[in-house]
A and B are shown apart, each in its own frame.
Chain A
Amino acid sequence: MDQKRTAIVAEIPHMRRYARALLRDRDSADDLVQDSLERAFSRLDHWREGDSPRRWLFTIMHHLFIDHIRRDHRRRAAAEVPIEAAHGVATPPAQLERLQSREVLDALHAIAPERRAALVLVALEGFSYAEAANTLGIPTGTLMSRISRGREDLRARLDDATRRRSIRVVET
């Protein structure tokens, strides 16, 4: 029991990273982690010995994330508008790095949640296709198409951000 708790607690930093990839807002992301931990501790006997704690916890997170998306769906009828980033011609290197991070996160959160989840599990968390498909409860073929579309979407959004940035520079 105590071993199980230790194993789960050791996963919290990874759960937070996955949550932040799924949800832009830090508090909402930590809400998701907290809800997932509460559910995990109330169902410890559902976790079979030998199973990876991370996969089990991420499966719980995914279910709660889907609930969250469904709840939120109506409230978010309007399209998400990425935060306008740069505000000047000269951007110092340190700020440029933060700007890049912000752009890539904005782009990630602008793509469809199910594509985002598939892409993040494999590209960021290093899950195999089989593990990710299992965690998300979808066939491998569906997972693969979500990943490739997710990558395409991310690339297109990042290109938009770059274009917007250069237009601003020209205008200023």
Chain B
Amino acid sequence: MTVRPFTDHDIHLSLDGELPAEEREEFEAWLDRSPDKKALRDRYADDREKLRLALAGVIDEELPDRLARFGRERPTPPRSWSWRTVAAGIVLFAAGSGLGYLAGAYSPSPTGGGAAQIAARAIEAHVIYSAEKLHVVEVGADQKDHLVGWLSKRVGTTLVAPDFSASGYELVGGRLLPADSRAAAMFIYQDAAGARISLYVARDSGAPDTGFKLREELGACALYWLDGGYGYAVTATNMSGDTLRALAGSAYQQLLAAQRG
């Protein structure tokens, strides 16, 4: 490959996902050779992350009435992102799915407890990694078997990367993350429009099993549950309660089937 000289201009291209794929490796090598350029890139990436976090919460704010009315001028109000409606939905899902023990455990603002911690970590990881353009995952979906085997081994339970293709989400890949000096696993999915969701799994021994609970933070929402000493969370941004609930239910069933299988 011919190496072209890189400049600061390429730092912006790289941050904005506009650097041609075939030049990325050489670009990273150039950064490794130029510590000041690497520091500049990292600094810009850090500023961008601060900006994202500062504005992430706006997405889930309740709409002021003067804006909400645009959605009401039709027969059924479409305010599906209003999380106030999720509570009723979760109970309905639990009752309708045959998973009786999932019933009822809606908590609008969970505080403390191992399960809430799982959700907080899942949201944090989601916000940080789902915003990545270039380095979303460590191991891509093209090595799915290796990815699932590796993460199962590190986390210590039989995992599957649930199939969400019925909802339009395809596996991008996964990551290993630290959680209290132990390993946590994260699978990331993406739909055709580029929207991303993630499944987070971490060991959480000692805490009793829970039903589905909801946590919203940093502009993202997680539906999470504890089961058999492990915590699980499905996290998304700007997704309707119905869709997130369906995805979490599907993940639960696929994980359960794998662990029994």
Give me the interface of A with B, judged by CB distance under 8 Å. 2, 5-6, 8-10, 12-14, 16-17, 20-21, 30, 33-34, 37, 41, 100-102, 104-105, 108, 120, 122-124, 126, 128-129, 144, 147-148, 151, 154-155, 158
Known: A37-B70, A100-B54. A17 touches B48 (CB 8 A): no
A84: shortest Cβ distance to chain B, in Å? Answer: 18
Chain A residue nearest to B43 in the complex (CB): A155
Q: Which residues of A contact B103 (CB under 8 A)?
A: none
* Most chain A CB within a 10 A radius of its CB, from B15, B47, B52, B60: B47
Q: Which residues of B contact A158 (CB under 8 A)?
A: 47, 50
The 9 A-B pairs with the shortest beta carbon distances in the complex, nearest first, are A101-B54, A9-B71, A17-B58, A104-B50, A13-B59, A148-B12, A123-B48, A104-B54, A37-B70
The answer to whether B66 touches A16 (Cβ under 8 A) is no
Chain A residue nearest to B193 in the complex (CB): A52
- Indicate which residue in B9, B54, B67 contacts A16 across the interface (CB closer than 8 Å): B67
Provide the B15-33 mask, 1 if CB < 8 A to any CB of A, else 0: 1111000000000000000
Pairs A–B under 8 Å by Cβ, sample size 28: A6-B74, A8-B70, A9-B70, A10-B78, A12-B71, A13-B61, A16-B61, A16-B63, A17-B59, A20-B55, A21-B55, A30-B67, A100-B54, A101-B50, A101-B53, A104-B50, A105-B54, A120-B51, A124-B51, A126-B194, A144-B9, A147-B12, A148-B9, A154-B47, A155-B43, A155-B44, A155-B47, A158-B50
A2: shortest Cβ distance to chain B, in Å? Answer: 6
Chain A's interface: helix, strand, loop or mixed, by majority?
A: helix
The answer to whether A33 touches B67 (Cβ under 8 A) is yes
The answer to whether B238 touches A151 (Cβ under 8 A) is no
The answer to whether B15 touches A123 (Cβ under 8 A) is yes
| CA gap between A5 and B75 in the complex, in Å | 12
Chain A residue nearest to B63 in the complex (CB): A12
Q: Which of B48-101 contact A (CB under 8 A)?
A: 48, 50-55, 58-61, 63-64, 66-67, 70-71, 73-74, 78-81
- Indicate which residue in A9, A126, A144 contacts B133 across the interface (CB closer than 8 Å): A126
User: How many interface contacts (CB-CB < 8 Å) are there between A and B?
Assistant: 95
B127: shortest Cβ distance to chain A, in Å? Answer: 13
| CA gap between A147 and B17 in the complex, in Å | 13
A49: shortest Cβ distance to chain B, in Å? Answer: 16
Known: A104-B51, A147-B16. A13 touches B238 (CB 8 A): yes
Known: A12-B63, A17-B59, A37-B67. A122 touches B50 (CB 8 A): no
| CA gap between A23 and B17 in the complex, in Å | 26
| CA gap between A6 and B80 in the complex, in Å | 10
Known: A20-B55, A101-B53. A41 touches B47 (CB 8 A): no
Interface size class of B (residues with CB under 8 A): 35 or more
Q: Which residues of A contact B48 (CB under 8 A)?
A: 123-124
- Indicate which residue in A13, A126, A144 contacts B58 across the interface (CB closer than 8 Å): A13
B107: shortest Cβ distance to chain A, in Å? Answer: 21
| CA gap between A147 and B13 in the complex, in Å | 10
Q: Which residues of B contact A144 (CB under 8 A)?
A: 9, 12
| CA gap between A30 and B67 in the complex, in Å | 8
A147: shortest Cβ distance to chain B, in Å? Answer: 6
Known: A12-B67, A100-B50, A148-B8. A122 touches B74 (CB 8 A): no
A165: shortest Cβ distance to chain B, in Å? Answer: 14
The answer to whether A123 touches B16 (Cβ under 8 A) is yes
The answer to whether B44 touches A151 (Cβ under 8 A) is yes
Q: Which of B166-202 contact A (CB under 8 A)?
A: 194
The answer to whether B74 touches A5 (Cβ under 8 A) is yes
| CA gap between A2 and B55 in the complex, in Å | 30
Chain B residue nearest to A5 in the complex (CB): B74
B111: shortest Cβ distance to chain A, in Å? Answer: 14
- Supplied contacts A105-B54, A148-B9, 6 more A-B pairs, CB within 8 Å: A10-B80, A101-B54, A123-B15, A123-B51, A124-B55, A148-B8
